[in-house]
Chains A and B, each alone.
Chain A
Amino acid sequence: MVSCESPGILVLTELVDNGLLTTRTRLLVGLAQYLTAGLHGELIALVTGNGAAKAAREAASLGVDTVLLADSPSFGTSGTEALAANICEVCAGLRPRLVVAPHTQAAQDFMPMVAFRLGTALVTDCVGITAREDSTLVFTKPIYGGNALAEFVSGSPTTLATVRIGSGREPTECGHAGSIVPVPVREGRYRLEVLESKHDEPSGPVLEEAGVVVAGGRGLGGPEGFDKLRGLADTLGGAVGASRPPCDLGWADPDTQVGITGKIVAPDIYIAVAISGSSQHLTGMSDSGTVVALNNDPDACIFNAADYGVVADWQQVLPAFSRKVRELLGS
């Protein structure tokens, strides 16, 4: 068991396929670094994965005091159980004040397991964590599908949180590299027999990391509309997203859903095509840089949350818009 003199914050990291940390993990390290300053504790990162040494070195270079490295093939794509078991083990030894993970689908699966195994509080989908002067942590999260933002304080010695990308910050240079400590890897508590595993071929950039997202809603009327969005997304080097109905209806891959029960995105440009702007959708993209909306209903809520809008039939607007964009970008 690893222990620590002055427990502070434990950051759980997420890796990309190339073995480096995801952008949202880096930004979460930055947030944790900022909070640690007020909590007078160590900043620790747990890097888990199969061949994760490179990511551990990256974490160490970001100003983390200690990087715990759990390198094992058991953290495959279905390694939720193994992850939960290992995080519990590390937490039991360190007793950190705060444990944070990027708000991903995986984290939504393993964080509740960890919280209930340890008997500690968990705040999911935080849009902000701040420290009061007396060092009490305040966690802000959307409730009622994003119709309200609630602030919570926790009564347990360790508190867990999953955090949205938009509330992270760039880590500051600290000039020294943290130490990397390998930790023993534990097996998960339960083992379910996997009969079949199907992973989608990623096409284009990862939705949550894309600089541009072109998203379509129910008003697209069918899967063909998404081919047109794909064309524009390719021109802009962006990813295609969707509101929930197209995912329900099988027009779009459920993995592309943006919103409170889908992906949380904060690209530089978000283009919403035939999306009405429900709060469940808006809460998943309202941190975007510039929001552009195409909708034929002038009263659609999306226009209140957009910087640029066109009130017209998307079928007529989009081809002309895409053509002009290609011309202007010279592609």
Chain B
Amino acid sequence: MHNGLNMIVCVKQVPDPEGPPTSYRVDEEARTVTFQGIPPVVSPFDENALELALGLAGVHGGTVTLMSLGSRFSPAVMLKALATGADDLVLVEMNGDTAPDSFATARLLAAAISRRGGFDLVLAGIQASDTNAGQVGPGIAELLGIPVIPRACHADVTDGRLVVKHAVPGGHETVGVPLRELPVVLTVGFEAGELRYPHLAAIKAAKEKPQARWDASDVAGMSPPGNLLEIVGLRAPKRERRCLLIEGDTPEEQGESLAVRLREDGVL
């Protein structure tokens, strides 16, 4: 019998994506987005990935390591993630102001994951809520030379196999990977379920869990990866429309008037 899976979950710190559009300010000159009044959080799909890992560890044992690449980490955000049941945390710190693109991010994370070693599964959200790129999970898999199972909803270990149900275009598929053929990468979306909420006591206890800080330039070794993409412009989207509000004495009347108006305007 195996002793559970050793899992690495990639988590990214982002500004809360559920913040109202008014909290995002686009600075076209500086080509940056600034935020007002929204706290940093773990990118939601990374939380789903963590939940999937914790679920597996809960049933079959094993370890869950959080790994985060970034700068200006919020201790509160990372502690809260640790407190949900992860075993340890590795922060890979970037210096400088240029954010790494998907290519550089995947290369740095793949290098950090290799340095850590001894893993059976790498999990990551299907995309980060700030870049919306969706490349890092499959990128890590390619760089490590291992398969990726995209959009995992559920995972289990049975008969010496990791069994993963995942979303494919137009449906779902269940795949099996013999444990001896691991590691693989799973990317995870909301179908894996919301991250459990940590107890207050667990948040306090999380401070005692092992935390490592690695310098990204050490991790990268001789050849620090540069960005392949350069941002040359930034603007706020224009989607304002003039809305004609349909009035009426009752909601039923409003509904009917809407149909009539759409017909008159040639929409229907």
Contacts and interface: CB of A to CB of B under 8 A. Distances in A.
A320 B256 contact: yes
B153 to A, nearest CB: 9
A196 B102 contact: no
A147 to B, nearest CB: 4
Given A145-B129, A282-B239, A309-B245, A269 B267 contact: yes
B230 A124 contact: no
B232 A153 contact: yes
Contacts of A301: 20-21
A175 interface: no
Interface in B100-120: 101-103, 106
Given A122-B102, A319-B255, A261 B235 contact: no
A305 B169 contact: no
Contact of B170 (A147, A151, A202, A261): A202
Where chain A touches its partner, the secondary structure class is: mixed
Nearest to A121: B228
Interface stretch (A46-54, A56-64, A100-108, A177-185): A100-108
A156 B163 CA distance: 38
A156 B190 CA distance: 33
Interface residues of B, number: 84
B132 A312 contact: no
Given A106-B169, A325-B259, A325-B268, A149 B237 contact: yes
A198 B255 contact: no
A244 interface: yes
B165 to A, nearest CB: 8
Given A261-B127, A307-B243, A200 B255 contact: no
B74 interface: no
Contacts of A244: 190
Contact of B130 (A144, A194, A261): A144
B260 A124 contact: no
B132 A113 contact: no
Contacts of A236: 268
Contacts of A325: 259, 262, 268
Contact of B26 (A147, A155, A193, A312): A147
Contacts of A154: 228-230
Interface string B12-27: 0001011011001010
A143 B139 contact: no
B142 A113 contact: yes
A329 to B, nearest CB: 7
A304 to B, nearest CB: 6
A187 interface: no
Contact of A143 (B130, B177, B226, B243): B130
Contacts of A143: 33, 130-132
Interface string A247-276: 110000011000011000000110000000
B231 A320 contact: no
Contacts of B262: 290, 292, 308, 325
Contacts of B142: 112-113, 116-117
Interface string A94-120: 000000000011101100110111001
A282 B36 CA distance: 21
A3 interface: no
Contact of B240 (A153, A293, A305): A305
A138 interface: yes
A119 to B, nearest CB: 8
B250 interface: yes
A316 B253 CA distance: 9
A198 B189 CA distance: 18
Nearest to A236: B268
B182 to A, nearest CB: 12
Interface string A116-147: 11001111110000000000001011111111
A150 B233 CA distance: 6
B221 interface: no
Interface of B: 15, 17-18, 20-21, 24, 26, 31, 33, 45, 101-103, 106, 126-127, 129-135, 137-139, 141-143, 147-151, 163, 167-177, 189-191, 226-237, 239-246, 250-256, 258-263, 267-268
8 contacts: A143-B132, A149-B234, A151-B234, A200-B170, A261-B127, A286-B239, A308-B262, A310-B258
